[in-house]
A and B are shown apart, each in its own frame.
Chain A
């Protein structure tokens, strides 16, 4: 296992490598790539934090927990609410900020504030040839040249190993409330979530758990405003409802998929058009289903080895294996798109060293 201490050492390791490298941040995702391990854990530390500009610059191996703690002191946070995979996957280690951005990991708040990739302002990375490249910066509006920042976010290290990231953070709200609708079937639940998101009453998370028949809407902001909007949504949606305050623990359990943890089955995530979700879930053959992002994200628990993609057939969206041995992990791309991505891989990692075979 390589343990670079600096970006320069990282570049030297990649330059002198003659075989595949399995890149890891905290190792909590366990991507299972073959090759010599390359841990970014030692390239760590926050290098700049400007609360008044809502921006942070940190080395890729910085633990997410360390960043959350520093942000907390200024009453700010990572608004895209990244999932912690340790519970679901039974892994050890500590999630790193580089890993979060490399995998574009976003939690329930993604529907209201955007994904991890929307918060990423700049990157430094080392490409497959060992060259150090920077793109973007640390300001919120930047259209100077191509946006390789987005390209790197969600590339899982296959186009380059992130060494430093700069990103936007947001203020923590004064309070939050969770409005729960009880007893709804999937179709009715997703329709209710659509009505909530199609209202002016700003919802920060919208989810449905078929196991408990709880349909959950999170409202955040100033106390009076939260009370007003929660009431307005209750009136809009009707039915049997309850309201919970201080939902941090509930939403953390939901975000980390705790309910799917202790079962020996595969776990998939499907991104789709929200209104299509109940029908997709019904034909998926899944043993358990959870709807997030108002239906736009479905978590599915399936028997080990089950070919979910064959069961889902044609739809607008994609399915990814999060736990299990089904391959490929990522949805195969249409021919024209696959040609573009293969071309990009050949240019950014010409020797095919970085997490080889993971995405292609």
Chain B
């Protein structure tokens, strides 16, 4: 993956930039020694690494504002960083950038159960938002797999999803307001404790903008009361096409599960070897979870199992207790780890219309043969968000490139059938140069016009999201500080 050549004029100003940053931050909040900046050289897309010029860890919105004002005056690119769990390289630094980490800003500012929101600093982790309200019976719904570690800042930047978004939506559907610092240091408040924008829906475009429009320091998030209970049913099929049809029938029947998860044979085999969850060996496995009181759950599961029976499952296992639920989820939750035991893997994130599921799975199988790389499929079937895991050997020359080429073909297929390149991980650098597949230059120009307005000099996370050739002219604005 190509990254732009570091700007030597910026690198030449390092000492001055460091001095200025030290003047506005605590002594330990400015990191500029290579031995230490290296800790920030990558996010969860570990194939790409580059130590930044400087790392800053501000402790307040005002400090973020001071940092950005300096970087703006010095024309230094800034890469915002939540917890660094991006699978798309969203927080990958460049050698000439300041990484702005929000990890020290993790307070709960306000909890309001009457109005069902919580206001937090964005360095707070996703799971600890729920942690702050769960004793009172509430939770924050979006639940990305990395929720133990990932920060709300990154969730907002990537518009993160999770397993339960079929019912509760993704980050953008649960975000009510932000306090954001613009690249020139100005602090703006957008949205708040009320619903919907009074003017343009800026909140909607900020969410998912991958840290390119501003640095969000505070967020007002919708919280909900927990359901009385939740239980899944596990079903196995000897044909993934049949499993796909079963998903469609469940949705058409008017039952709205909170989650429908899908695993294919390679994934089931890997998980069984790893986690021994007792899954049936079959072509496709579905986990369907519903919520409510015990009686409500039983009723919905009965309806779902009736539909499943019409598709002749090889296994149908209804959970009747918390222990049985945990056993059913065990394999799914360890699927990524299990695949990682076999080899290095690349996790894709394309979304397809649910109706195209059988066709896409068949094509992926064929391509797997052509490329000679194994693929396991595990994904959120209810909303068509696929996560093909392509296995490769990072130590084998050429294997990463082969894997990336294979991944690109799968994503092109997703777009071809009416889907998109990324459902919840974001574009980052990983899918940046594939944006042409989904969008015309006119479409991309419209998006880049938004960045032009928020960040005219293209200093915030500049080499991400848009293909480098398309954003080239914008990223080379005259160096104001030179």
Contacts and interface: CB of A to CB of B under 8 A. Distances in A.
Contacts of B205: 146-148, 150-151
A334 B201 contact: no
B194 A272 contact: yes
Given A53-B251, A117-B201, A133-B446, A143 B195 contact: no
Interface in B423-455: 423-427, 431, 435, 438-440, 442-444, 446-447, 449-454
B207 interface: yes
Interface stretch (B319-327, B333-341, B352-360): B352-360
A326 interface: no
Contact of A142 (B420, B450, B451): B420
B7 interface: no
Contacts of A273: 112, 115, 192-194
A92 B112 CA distance: 43
Contacts of B159: 143, 147
B198 A344 contact: no
B201 A135 contact: no
Nearest to B180: A336
B204 A317 contact: no
A318 interface: yes
Given A75-B254, A134-B443, A141 B450 contact: no
Contacts of A336: 182, 186-188
B447 A74 contact: no
A197 interface: yes
Contact of B351 (A111, A140, A334): A140
Nearest to B188: A336
Interface string A315-334: 01111100000000011011
Interface in B272-312: 292-293, 295-296, 299-300
B227 to A, nearest CB: 5
Contacts of B33: none
A142 B383 CA distance: 10
A314 to B, nearest CB: 12
A236 to B, nearest CB: 12
Contacts of B256: 170-171
A186 to B, nearest CB: 15
A255 interface: no
A316 B201 contact: no
A91 interface: no
Given A110-B195, A222-B300, A347 B453 contact: yes
B164 to A, nearest CB: 12
B465 interface: yes
Contact of B198 (A198, A228, A271): A271
Nearest to A159: B200
Interface stretch (B13-21, B48-56, B165-173, B364-372): B165-173
Contacts of A331: 198-199
Contacts of B476: none
B113 interface: yes
Nearest to B247: A52
Contacts of B318: none
Nearest to B418: A138
B384 A140 contact: yes
Interface string B196-224: 11111111110111000000000000000
Given A139-B423, A144-B420, A148-B446, A117 B296 contact: no
Which among B186, B227, B354, B451 has the highest number of chain A CB atoms within 10 Å? B354
Contact of B248 (A53, A172, A272, A319): A53
Nearest to B383: A140
Interface string A118-140: 10000000010001111101111
Nearest to B209: A146
Given A139-B353, A200-B225, A155 B169 contact: no
Contacts of B158: 143
B380 interface: yes
A189 to B, nearest CB: 13
Given A134-B439, A146-B447, A50 B355 contact: yes
Which among B190, B207, B422, B449 has the highest number of chain A CB atoms within 10 Å? B449
B252 interface: yes
Nearest to B385: A141
Contacts of A134: 439-440, 443
B353 A50 contact: yes
Nearest to B449: A347
Nearest to A333: B199
A146 B208 contact: yes
A194 B114 contact: yes
Nearest to A112: B224
A222 B169 contact: no
A104 B300 CA distance: 32
A297 B194 CA distance: 9
Interface string A46-73: 0000111111000000000000000000
Given A50-B353, A138-B353, A194-B115, A144 B418 contact: no
Interface string A341-360: 10110011000000000010
Interface in B136-177: 137-138, 158-159, 161, 165-166, 169-170, 172-173
A143 B208 contact: yes
Contacts of B438: 137, 144-145
A330 B198 contact: yes
Given A159-B200, A198-B113, A330-B199, A141 B446 contact: no
A104 B201 contact: yes
B36 interface: no
B116 interface: yes
Interface string B245-263: 0011101111110000000
A34 interface: no
B228 interface: yes
A155 B296 contact: no
A296 interface: yes
A133 B448 CA distance: 13
A143 B116 contact: no
Contacts of A38: none
Nearest to A118: B173
Interface string A279-299: 000000000000001001100
B453 A147 contact: no
Contacts of B385: 139-141
B189 interface: yes
Given A145-B435, A171-B256, A222-B299, A135 B248 contact: no
A151 B201 contact: yes
Contacts of A106: 196
A153 interface: yes
A109 B260 CA distance: 24
Given A150-B203, A154-B197, A171-B255, 7 more contacts: A52-B354, A111-B195, A117-B204, A143-B161, A171-B254, A275-B112, A340-B202
30 contacts: A52-B249, A53-B355, A74-B252, A104-B196, A114-B173, A139-B353, A139-B420, A140-B165, A140-B351, A141-B384, A141-B385, A143-B170, A145-B465, A146-B447, A146-B465, A147-B209, A150-B172, A155-B200, A171-B254, A198-B114, A225-B295, A273-B112, A275-B112, A293-B195, A319-B198, A337-B190, A341-B199, A343-B454, A347-B449, A347-B452
The 6 closest A-B CB pairs, nearest first, are A150-B204, A318-B198, A52-B248, A171-B254, A141-B423, A343-B453
